[in-house]
Amino acid sequence: MGYQSTTPLVALLAGRGRVPYHLNQLRPGRVLDYLTALLRQPPQTIASLTVHRFAPSLALLPKGRPSANICDAGAIQRCFTSSCPLCPACLAKDQVPYERLLWSFRPVPVCVDHKCILIRRCPACRRPLRSDRQDVSHCRCGHKLGDTQPVVVSPHGLSLAVKSHQILLGVALPSPEMSTAACFWWSARLAAAIRRTPAWLVEAGERLAMDPQHHADAVSWLAAAEILTDRPGRLTAFLDAFQRIDKHKTTSTGVGRRFGTLLRQAARLEKLGHPPPATALREYLVEHYASGHLSGKVCLFRHPKDHSALRKRAWIPQTRASKMLGLRHGAVARLVESGILEGRFHPAGRHGRLVGLVHRQSVQTLQSELRQGLDVRAIAKRLGIDHHRVLDLVHGGLLPRAVRTAKGWRIPRASVADLEGMCKGLPVGNPASGRWLPLREATRKFGPAGLTLALLVELIRAKRVSARMADPEKCFHGLVVSEADLAALAPEIRNRRDQERGYPIHHLGSALFVGRPIKDTVVAKWIAAGLLRARKSGRARLVAPKEVDRFRQEYCLAEDACRILAITRSTLSRWEAEGLVQPVYGKRVTPGAGFSLYRRADLAILSRRRRRAA
Ligand SMILES: [Zn+2]
Ligand SMILES: [Zn+2]
């Protein structure tokens, strides 16, 4: 008839009824009837030459229904690609080249005979291969496709492809509780989810030794087969990655947003009598999901039997945790912060609210510790100290995992035993020589410098202060410490206290400039002049360590000024007299001043001006 291409022919046929684009889309109806009459073959024979021969393995039906003999449109779309991949090695060996039906089967993107990846584009012109090319073995550009060097697939990729191939042909069986059709249906959902998880595509591509940029579809299907084969570890890892990516369809906040439609799809399969995916997802959510609340509203937990599984969930809401532990609301967050409980906090909703989940096991461990734990009074008695000193130890972090409940502090026995152990480890007996102080006297004497019981215990543990047990029966009450050690450490203790609380004015003078003590009255003048900011605490005025740092960065003494300007002291005082340099505090600006204080910024400007002039 002179037609150069099949397109005009198909266009003519289209006028006579609905003509499928591809033979694989052929369904019972007028076109099949025409073909039956034309070819004088029963319709089953014609259908069996198309994808419909795999209908029993691919058409998803409720469990127990007799298998289908025609693939529904969904199954064809899911499992067969509209592009036309081919195996160059197969074509090369064909005497009469022909396309294989299985080349377009997406779960097996590999030729299992030649162990190579199917090609989708012409290697010469890089254009996608078309189903309507007139010569199977040649591209439109004239390239002979059989000449292409096949790309060998990795053993791991091949074994996954062979498994899917065998399942399709009925040689191997998928999970015992799932039909072959359900297995491919779920694979398709997983593959779609994998294609939306770039991190997983890259990871799986590395395992399969395939480039996910060129073979995204192939990698996604093989990676889906991998998840189905290595359950449940691989599924858990994938869901961890999948829940982190942004979903296009934001159904709602929480679990729906994190898992897209995967949960609903698993629930649908379960309803049709194929429960394994739903069971696996449920297990994952109960054991590993820590990003939000789970309730009976989530489709997989609507059934009362499944809902009850939520009670055993590994991650529990913080309100439940605080109830279990007898804490005030909000205390759980602090325990998570300090590492006593294992928990995760996620922003939820538009108002920046935080949803917190706590690991059940960590709550139960703490719960039993607190149940057997002791209160402050009992500990004071055991350690032989006043109860306010017990609180000192708690706040100093020396009674770890102590928790303030609604009924007061509860302290785990192990934490107390730890301190008792420290006392037992000390040398026993009255010291022969040297000045030794009982505990109470030591804190009285060095308390003003900032010595607390907590700090003393820390120093004893670090072996920086020698200690002995004069009376082992009395625990802390029988402890004596070396006065000489404490006296030597006093400046360090004071400095540490000042660092934490801020410097009182009478300490600041000696700490402000190293090696150059300054009188308290001068410091007071600087505060009055607004050069230094202090805050009131009771009767004392304290200067915060940050403020001290700022002051040191902003001002300096004459030695530093000479260094910055690279001049001698006599030049500096001459410049001062000439008005070139103006100190913020000094003989010429402040009556009664014995030395000068300079603003570093002023000196920097002057130094720059001098360099430019030079
Ligand atoms: Zn082949
Ligand atoms: Zn080409």
Between the alpha carbon of residue 458 and those of residues 422, 453, 455, the distances in Å are 11, 9, 5
Q: Kindly state whether residues 515 and 609 are assigned to the same domain.
A: no
Q: Kindly state whether residues 563 and 538 are assigned to the same domain.
A: no
Ligand nearest to the CA of 145: 2
Q: Kindly state whether residues 127 and 88 are assigned to the same domain.
A: yes
Ligand nearest to the CA of 140: 2
Provide DSSP, 298-360: SGGG-SHHHHHHGGG-SEEEHHHHHHHHT--TTHHHHHHHTTSS-EEEEEETTTTEEEEEEEH
| The pTM of the whole model exceeds 0.85 | no
Q: How many domains does the chain have?
A: 5
Query: What pLDDT is stored for residue 1 in this prediction?
Result: 46
What angle in degrees, to the nearest 10, is found between the helix axes of 198-208 and 216-229? 80
Distance CA 231, CA 6 (A): 47
Residues 33-42 have pLDDT tens digits of 888 899 898 9
* Strand-strand pairing, 343-348 and 151-152: unpaired
Q: Kindly state whether residues 22 and 106 are assigned to the same domain.
A: no
- Is the confidence at residue 382, as pLDDT, over 70? yes
Tokens of 136: 């199977």
Residues 154-191 have pLDDT tens digits of 999 999 999 999 999 988 888 778 889 999 999 999 99
Whether the bond into 155 is cis, omega within 30 of 0: no
Instruction: Pick the last residue of a domain from 188, 204, 230.
Output: 230
Q: How far is the CA of 92 from the centre of ligand 2 (A)?
A: 16
Question: Residues of 168-199 as b/e, b for ≥16 C-beta within 10 angstroms?
Answer: beeeeebbeebbbbbbbbbbbbbbbbbbebee
- Is the confidence at residue 591, as pLDDT, over 70? yes
Q: Assign 592 a pLDDT band (cuts: 50, 70, 90).
A: confident
Average pLDDT over residues 59-68: 87
Q: How far is the CA of 162 from the centre of ligand 1 (A)?
A: 13
Q: How far is the CA of 181 from the centre of ligand 1 (A)?
A: 25
Q: How far is the CA of 301 from the centre of ligand 2 (A)?
A: 53
Residues 222-261 have pLDDT tens digits of 999 999 887 678 999 999 898 887 665 544 456 767 787 8
Q: Kindly state whether residues 90 and 200 are assigned to the same domain.
A: yes
In a domain? residue 386: no
Q: Kindly state whether residues 447 and 569 are assigned to the same domain.
A: no
Q: How far is the CA of 384 from the centre of ligand 2 (A)?
A: 91
Q: How far is the CA of 23 from the centre of ligand 2 (A)?
A: 23
Residues 13-40 have pLDDT tens digits of 655 556 676 777 788 888 888 888 998 9
The dihedral over CA atoms of 476, 479, 485, 490, expressed in degrees to the nearest 10, equals: 40
Ligand nearest to the CA of 90: 1
Instruction: Pick the last residue of a domain from 208, 230, 252.
Output: 230
Q: How far is the CA of 145 from the centre of ligand 2 (A)?
A: 8
Question: Residues of 386-399 as b/e, b for ≥16 C-beta within 10 angstroms?
Answer: eeebbbbbbeeebb
In a domain? residue 363: no
Ligand nearest to the CA of 102: 1
Q: How far is the CA of 144 from the centre of ligand 1 (A)?
A: 16
In a domain? residue 345: no
Query: What pLDDT is stored for residue 256 in this prediction?
Result: 67
Distance CA 110, CA 119 (A): 9
Number of Cβ within a 10 Å radius of residue 476:
23
Q: How far is the CA of 151 from the centre of ligand 1 (A)?
A: 11
Q: How far is the CA of 213 from the centre of ligand 1 (A)?
A: 23
Report which of 355, 78, 341 is spatially closest to residue 190, judged by C-alpha positions: 78
- Provide the domain limits for residue 451: 436-499
Quick one: which H or E segment has residue 489? Answer: helix 483-501
Ligand nearest to the CA of 121: 2
In a domain? residue 475: yes
Q: How far is the CA of 114 from the centre of ligand 1 (A)?
A: 5
Q: Is 13 within 8 Å of 35 (Cβ atoms)?
A: no
Distance CA 317, CA 457 (A): 37
Q: Kindly state whether residues 536 and 464 are assigned to the same domain.
A: no
Angle, CA 47 vertex, CA 44 and CA 48 arms, to 5°: 85
In a domain? residue 289: no
Count of all residues that appear for the chain in the document: 614
Q: Is 534 within 8 Å of 527 (Cβ atoms)?
A: yes
Tokens of 266: 């698993």
Q: How far is the CA of 87 from the centre of ligand 1 (A)?
A: 5
Distance CA 477, CA 383 (A): 7
Q: Kindly state whether residues 487 and 539 are assigned to the same domain.
A: no
Instruction: Pick the last residue of a domain from 452, 477, 499.
Output: 499
Report which of 135, 83, 126 is spatially closest to residue 104, judged by C-alpha positions: 83
Q: Kindly state whether residues 130 and 106 are assigned to the same domain.
A: yes
Q: Kindly state whether residues 29 and 131 are assigned to the same domain.
A: no
Tell me what the pLDDT averaged over the chain comes to: 86
Q: How far is the CA of 136 from the centre of ligand 2 (A)?
A: 12
Ligand nearest to the CA of 129: 2
Q: How far is the CA of 98 from the centre of ligand 1 (A)?
A: 12
Q: How far is the CA of 111 from the centre of ligand 2 (A)?
A: 21
Query: What pLDDT is stored for residue 350 in this prediction?
Result: 57
Q: Kindly state whether residues 222 and 156 are assigned to the same domain.
A: yes
Q: How far is the CA of 112 from the centre of ligand 1 (A)?
A: 7
40 burial class (0-12, 13-18, 19+ CB within 10 angstroms)? Answer: exposed
Q: How far is the CA of 20 from the centre of ligand 2 (A)?
A: 26
In a domain? residue 169: yes
Q: Is 352 within 8 Å of 345 (Cβ atoms)?
A: no
Distance CA 292, CA 308 (A): 18
In a domain? residue 304: no
Report which of 228, 167, 164 is spatially closest to residue 194, judged by C-alpha positions: 228
In a domain? residue 57: no
Q: How far is the CA of 213 from the centre of ligand 2 (A)?
A: 20
Query: What pLDDT is stored for residue 251 in this prediction?
Result: 46
Average pLDDT over residues 73-100: 90
The SS3 assignment for 295 reads coil
The SS3 assignment for 537 reads strand
Query: What pLDDT is stored for residue 79 in this prediction?
Result: 92
Ligand nearest to the CA of 142: 2
Q: How far is the CA of 150 from the centre of ligand 2 (A)?
A: 16
Q: How far is the CA of 110 from the centre of ligand 2 (A)?
A: 21
Distance CA 38, CA 16 (A): 15
Distance CA 281, CA 267 (A): 10
Q: Kindly state whether residues 171 and 110 are assigned to the same domain.
A: yes
Q: How far is the CA of 322 from the centre of ligand 1 (A)?
A: 63
Q: How far is the CA of 432 from the centre of ligand 2 (A)?
A: 100
Report which of 462, 385, 448 is spatially closest to residue 393, judged by C-alpha positions: 385
Q: How far is the CA of 137 from the centre of ligand 2 (A)?
A: 11
The SS3 assignment for 380 reads helix
Distance CA 436, CA 482 (A): 5
Among 42-56, 364-378, 404-418, 430-444, which is the least confidently predicted range?
A: 430-444
Query: What pLDDT is stored for residue 554 in this prediction?
Result: 92
Distance CA 555, CA 577 (A): 20
